[in-house]
Every structure is written in C-alpha cells, then in structure tokens.
Structure 1
Amino acid sequence: MAENVSGLTVRQDTETVSPMVSFENVTKSFNSRETGKRAFKALDDVSYSVPRGAITGIIGRSGAGKSTLVRLVNGLEKPSAGRVIVDGTEVSALDEVALRSVRRSIGMIFQHFNLLSSRTVYDNVAMPLEIAGVGKQEIRKRIEPLIDLVGLSERTRHYPAQLSGGQKQRVGIARALASEPKLLLSDEATSALDPETTQQILELLKTINRDLGLTVLLITHEMEVVKAVTSRVAVMDNGRIAESGRTFDVFTAPQHETTRSMLAALPGGSLPDWIGRQVISEPKPGCDALLRLRFFGETADQPLVSRLMAELGSPVNIIAGTVDEIAGEPYGTLYVAYSADPAVMKKAEHFYARTGLNAEVVGYVA
C-alpha cells in the first residue's frame, strides 16, 4: 500500500503483526508561551504499530517529532488527538496514578545516562526497585544477573566518575531492565558515544532482544544505528511517518526524499565529490552513462559486473562501491560508467531485466 504525500509516493508498512505499541491518528500540538494558543504541531495524524519482540527504529532529523513520539509511549506527554496503546492499554487515557503501573513495564535508556553520581553501579541499577518497595534479597536476586549481562560484574562497587561513557550506558541499560519491562525505549542512547562503543552497545541491545524477547523501540537520527540493529524502521519528516517497513526494504528502495537524503550520508551512499562535480544531467556525444548498481538478494553473490561487460561488449569502468549488511542481509552499491550509446544502453536494460540487478542512471560524464 502507498499514499501520496507532497507529491511523492511513499511506502506504508502494512504487514500484519502483533503490536506492542500502536499510535492511532496521533496529533500533538504545543502551545505558544506568549499567546497560550497552539502554535506548533510536533506530530500530525501519525498511525503506526511497533511489532512485539522486534527492534524497531524511529529515525528522522532534529525536529521531525521522533522524541515527542516516544514521550507519548510512557505518558510523559499526552496527545492532542488520537490514541496511544501499549500492550493493550490506552496510556493516553490514564491518569498519573494508573500510569505508574504501566511505566514499570516500560524501560528507558537516555543519551546522557542520567546516573546518580553518589551511587555505585549496583545502587544505580537497584534504584527503581528500591522506589517500588522491593525487598533487599529480591533486589540482589534481580540485579546481580543484570550487571553480569551488561558486562560490569567487576565494577559493581564503582561510581559513575570511575566509568567510561560506554560503561555508564551499560549501567543505564541494566537499570532499565531491573523492573523486568516488556518494552525498552532508547532515546538517542548512542549519540554521545564513539563509534566503537556505539557498536558494543548495539550488540548488547541485540543480545537483550534475542535472549529476553524484549521489544525495543529505538529513537535515533543515525542511519548507521538503524542499519546495524533494527529489523523494522519508520522514517519521520515534519511530524509525519514518511515511510516505514522492513529496514532492508526501506534502505534498498527508499521512496521518500527524506529517506534518500539521509541514506546519502552513509558510506557509499553518494558519489565521491571528484566525480560528482563532473556529472551532467543530459547525454552528449561520446559521453558515458553513470549508473548506480545495487546488489541484494539473489544478486548479492553473483559475478554480474563481469557478465555485464561481456554482454555489452564495451568497457565498464568501476567508479566507487561498497559492500555492507543491512539488518543482517548482504547489500552492495557500485557506481559504474559505460558508453551512453543507445545500442549499448539497450543491451544493458535487457541485462538488468533478465538478471534482476537494480540499476539507476544518475547522470552522464565526459
């Protein structure tokens, strides 16, 4: 299913799943401090379901509405219109007392860790259980395995000042798991970390999802994070869901301009500058066509470029390329150039149709 937004046809995720979270026609507006009137619409008629047991990414630029969306899940904000349902309960209709019970089933990890400097690793992780009135023996029974799970068993009595950024985030994850939640919310949890530490935290989230069966809703502006860890993704733009679906499908065949623009920032997602400056939009006599070839599925492990050269009977210049994984599936992008002669282009079209290789003309070069 697709719908038209701002003149663009965008993919909508219609897979039948058992949702952990459902947003039903959710709108959220904020009042102007000066006039008291609603002046800013952060979310605009959002409908989306987060499947149970999956790691789902919500991605968008700053101001797209993604953080507002996650604050609706744990009741920190209420929608101006529409419904937010978590595990069968409409949280948007609950009062503060009823929300406390729901929040115990929702874990939260933050960008800046939010640890108490005067408490040890153990005490920071134990804090939600202490607040809930859980006994010391039960706290110890729950906390020690969690600290071991996040790899901090040797730092149980350390204070936050003695920990690295990655270790602090591990404490935050263990604390979020202490109340045995059904849902884990991650709001830009890796944004303050270096790339190596980010990868370690993402691997930990995958382990938690796999071993505990925990649903994870991950809010981020980083395409690399979504690519590495999520199975499904929704792209937000100006308070709306621009497109959504399997992460692999959205990344390999983006429908919305926002998605294409964000993907261009990934390694191999755009042309090198030195060749980009030479690209022209219309062919001229003697020029080459510049194409982006995408390899995935059955085309990922076949020698299609060598077969393309044999098919065309013409040189094929490899300009740039990358091979990667998206949500655990192989994917490659290759920029090539070959003669823009109509006869050569026609042979190439037949080759792509026959082999299933995804090819797109991005311009022409002299």
Structure 2
Amino acid sequence: MVRFEAAGKIFAGSGARPAFTALEDIDYTVPRGAIAGIIGRSGAGKSTLIRLVNGLETPTSGKVFVDGVDVAALDAAGLRALRREVGMIFQHFNLLSSRTAFENVALPLEIAGISSAAIRGKVLPLLDLVGLSDKAERYPAELSGGQKQRVGIARALATDPKLLLSDEATSALDPETTQSILELLRRINADLGLTVLLITHEMEVVKTVASDVAVIDGGRIVERGRTFDVFTRPQHETTRSLLAAASMGAKLPDWISSDLKPSPAAGDRALVRLIFFGKTAFQPLTARLVAEIGPDVNILAGAIDEIAGEPFGSLVVSYPADAETLERAARFYARTGLATEVLGYGV
C-alpha cells in the first residue's frame, strides 16, 4: 500500500539556521491490509515520514508511492483525490470546537459536496462503529480524550480511505483509553481491510497491534521486520535501548546488573536470559535445564507477555560458570532450540 524508495527530506536553512536533514535514504514497504508501526525517539523523523505519505511534505530525494501512485508527481487535483483515500488521526485530535461530534465527522463529506441525506446515512453508522452513537450532538468540550479520538477516527473513515495514518494518536491518552483505541484500530483493520500506518514512540502500542515494525533513528531506518522478530531478537542498539526503556521481558535489578563482568572468574556464576517463544513457549525447559546441569540453578527474574498476538516469556537464571557446566548448558540450548542471552558473570 505504501512504498518508500530511497526517500529523503532536507529542510532548507534560513538566516543563521542551517539546513537540516530530517530523513535520509528511506526504503520501506507497508503491506496492503497490514497494521505497520514506525517507532523512534522524539526528533527521529517519524512525523516527517508520515507527512510524505499524504503529500503534506515533498521528498527532496527518492520517491513515495501510495497504492502505486507517486505522491510527489500529483498535481493539486490529484493530491485532493489522494487525501480522500488516506485518512489521518492526530495526537491532539484536531476537532473543531464549534461543531458537534456529528458535524466534525461530516466535515470532509461536506467539503466533498455530498448531500445532507447521504451525509447522515454515512456519519451515523461511523459514530456507531466507534461506539459514540449516543454522543452525536455533543461538542468536543463535553467529551473525554478517548471519545475525542474516536470522533477523529470516525472522521478519518468518512471518505472510505484505503489507508489510515496515525501520528502519535494515543500519546495524549491514559493507558486504559489507549488500549481501547488500539482495539478499535485492530477491529477496523480486520473488518474493513484497512491498511494502518502507526507513527509512535510507545513500544506498547506497536507490540499490541502492529504486525510489522520499522525503527527510525536520526532520519534513517535502522531495523525492520515482523514485530515479534524485532522485539524478541533486536539487532540494533537503538531498538535495544527502546525495548529496555519499555521494560520488555525479564529485567534484573540494577544492584545485580551493575556488578556483572563480561568474563567469568573462579567461583563466578553465569547470568543468562532464557527466551521462550514459538515451539519453546509451552515446554517445561527450565525443569529440564536443572536436570541437565544440576540443581544449582537460581531464577532471578521472569516475565511473560504477548507480542503481536504471539506468546513471549523470559527468565533470568544463574548457575555456576565452570567450564563443564557452561558446556552442558550450551549443548542443552542447542538441542532444544531455546534462545538465550548471556548477561554477564558475577558472584
């Protein structure tokens, strides 16, 4: 549905302000019908990236295609047609305070010249879809943050778009409301076959709904893939840092992790994270590890989670770091396919 080909964006300088490279050499594809996430820290280039998709910004290099159409090649009429097929929801809702929920959703249809009867026949089902059929005549000031965002989603769907862009749409919401909005997006994606592109700095958002994810840092995509693969086996330091900040998986207390060494000394113990997913998720492998290397295995931390609908768990264990025990443990991991990460060595 969306394809970036070596896309870049440089903002020209003015006066004492130098030119700024916001995006550089972006190659990325959003599969049709997917919920895809682009995640990164503030200032990484996420919002600029999404503005290339609906033509609010033009790439200074490369191309951006939406459903096979080169966005930058469109004239004004072509851009208007494209934007009717690309809905957008915003962090701060962007509702008109002087219009009711019904009137906010109706706005793009009014602009398109749709008749009043047809607008009513379109808007009321959309308000019902987002769970606000009883709030049609309420003004934004009378609605909660989650309700405002639902109005924004209904408005974005009014023109029957192929693609829905979400720019930090849950960042202003509390965790419970965020989950309800994400569930709504997941339902819209499933029921309407709508492609969704999420821009966010929240790992929890991507983990909950996105099937694919790209990590952006300094204007470049540094890692991409299935959400489960990226979250369980991060390759880039930026991804690892974002996941660590989000407390993904079992985490050691600082007083333990701060004393770890990269190599074992006599009498040390190995601290190892065991990662359970796929065929290992439901097997009693910890008990089998004890049977393999002996009873001197301590469990230091543990967590269980779900990533993109797949189970994921991790345990941090310690055991003696003598050569024989380490070799027996390594053979066990190779035989069972259990994924592991050596965190270090300590007393």
- TM-score w.r.t. length of structure 1: 0.93
Task: Kindly state the Cα deviation for residue 35 of structure 1 after the two structures are TM-superposed.
Answer: 5.6
Unaligned segments of structure 1, at least 5 residues = 1-19
- 1:168 to 2:148 alignment: yes
Amino acid at match of 1:54: A
SS in 1 for 2:263: coil
For 1:157, the equivalent position in structure 2 comes to: 137
SS in 1 for 2:131: coil
Q: Partners in 2 of 1:359 and 1:240 — Cα distance?
A: 29
Q: Partners in 1 of 2:312 and 2:245 — Cα distance?
A: 16
Task: Kindly state the Cα deviation for residue 287 of structure 1 after the two structures are TM-superposed.
Answer: 1.3
SS in 1 for 2:126: helix
- 1:354 to 2:335 alignment: yes
Task: Kindly state the Cα deviation for residue 58 of structure 1 after the two structures are TM-superposed.
Answer: 0.5
Task: Kindly state the Cα deviation for residue 243 of structure 1 after the two structures are TM-superposed.
Answer: 1.2
- 1:118 to 2:98 alignment: yes
- 1:209 to 2:195 alignment: no
Task: Kindly state the Cα deviation for residue 93 of structure 1 after the two structures are TM-superposed.
Answer: 1.2
Task: Kindly state the Cα deviation for residue 47 of structure 1 after the two structures are TM-superposed.
Answer: 1.0
For 1:244, the equivalent position in structure 2 comes to: 224
Unaligned segments of structure 2, at least 5 residues = none
For 2:286, the equivalent position in structure 1 comes to: 305
Could you list the per-position Cα deviations for residues 309-352 of structure 1 after superposition, in whole angstroms to 9, with x for gaps in the alignment?
Answer: 01001311111111000000000111111110110000000000
Could you list the per-position Cα deviations for residues 237-289 of structure 1 after superposition, in whole angstroms to 9, with x for gaps in the alignment?
Answer: 11111111111111111111111111112334442223222322221211110
1:139 to 119, 122, 125: 119
Task: Kindly state the Cα deviation for residue 83 of structure 1 after the two structures are TM-superposed.
Answer: 0.8
Task: Kindly state the Cα deviation for residue 363 of structure 1 after the two structures are TM-superposed.
Answer: 0.6
- 1:93 to 2:73 alignment: yes
For 1:61, the equivalent position in structure 2 comes to: 41
Task: Kindly state the Cα deviation for residue 46 of structure 1 after the two structures are TM-superposed.
Answer: 0.7
Amino acid at match of 1:336: V
For 1:363, the equivalent position in structure 2 comes to: 344
Q: Partners in 2 of 1:66 and 1:354 — Cα distance?
A: 42
For 2:301, the equivalent position in structure 1 comes to: 320
Q: Partners in 2 of 1:331 and 1:80 — Cα distance?
A: 41
- 1:106 to 2:103 alignment: no
Could you list the per-position Cα deviations for residues 65-93 of structure 1 after superposition, in whole angstroms to 9, with x for gaps in the alignment?
Answer: 11111000000000001111101111111
Q: Partners in 1 of 2:299 and 2:166 — Cα distance?
A: 40
- 1:29 to 2:14 alignment: no
For 1:289, the equivalent position in structure 2 comes to: 270
For 1:336, the equivalent position in structure 2 comes to: 317
Q: Partners in 1 of 2:17 and 2:263 — Cα distance?
A: 53
Task: Kindly state the Cα deviation for residue 156 of structure 1 after the two structures are TM-superposed.
Answer: 1.0
SS in 2 for 1:264: helix
Contact 1:315–1:338 at 8 Å: present in 2 too? Answer: yes
SS in 1 for 2:7: strand
Q: Partners in 2 of 1:205 and 1:135 — Cα distance?
A: 28
Amino acid at match of 1:175: R
Contact 1:268–1:321 at 8 Å: present in 2 too? Answer: no
Contact 1:268–1:320 at 8 Å: present in 2 too? Answer: no
Q: Partners in 2 of 1:55 and 1:122 — Cα distance?
A: 27
Q: Partners in 1 of 2:200 and 2:24 — Cα distance?
A: 19
Identity of aligned residues (%): 67
Amino acid at match of 2:279: E
Amino acid at match of 1:326: I
How many pairs were matched up? 346
Amino acid at match of 1:183: L
Could you list the per-position Cα deviations for residues 83-138 of structure 1 after superposition, in whole angstroms to 9, with x for gaps in the alignment?
Answer: 11101111111122320111000000000000111111111111110111110111
Amino acid at match of 2:13: S
Task: Kindly state the Cα deviation for residue 181 of structure 1 after the two structures are TM-superposed.
Answer: 0.3
Could you list the per-position Cα deviations for residues 172-217 of structure 1 after superposition, in whole angstroms to 9, with x for gaps in the alignment?
Answer: 0000000100000000000000100000000000000000000000
Q: Partners in 1 of 2:15 and 2:41 — Cα distance?
A: 27
- TM-score w.r.t. length of structure 2: 0.98
Amino acid at match of 1:233: V
For 1:3, the equivalent position in structure 2 comes to: none
Contact 1:283–1:340 at 8 Å: present in 2 too? Answer: yes
Q: Partners in 2 of 1:320 and 1:313 — Cα distance?
A: 19
Q: Per the alignment, do residues 191 and 221 of structure 1 end up closer, same or farther by CA in structure 2, a change over 3 Å counting?
A: same
SS in 2 for 1:200: helix
Q: Partners in 1 of 2:253 and 2:178 — Cα distance?
A: 26
Q: Partners in 1 of 2:95 and 2:12 — Cα distance?
A: 31
Amino acid at match of 1:275: I
Tell me how large the CA RMSD over aligned residues is. 1.1
Q: Partners in 2 of 1:170 and 1:120 — Cα distance?
A: 13
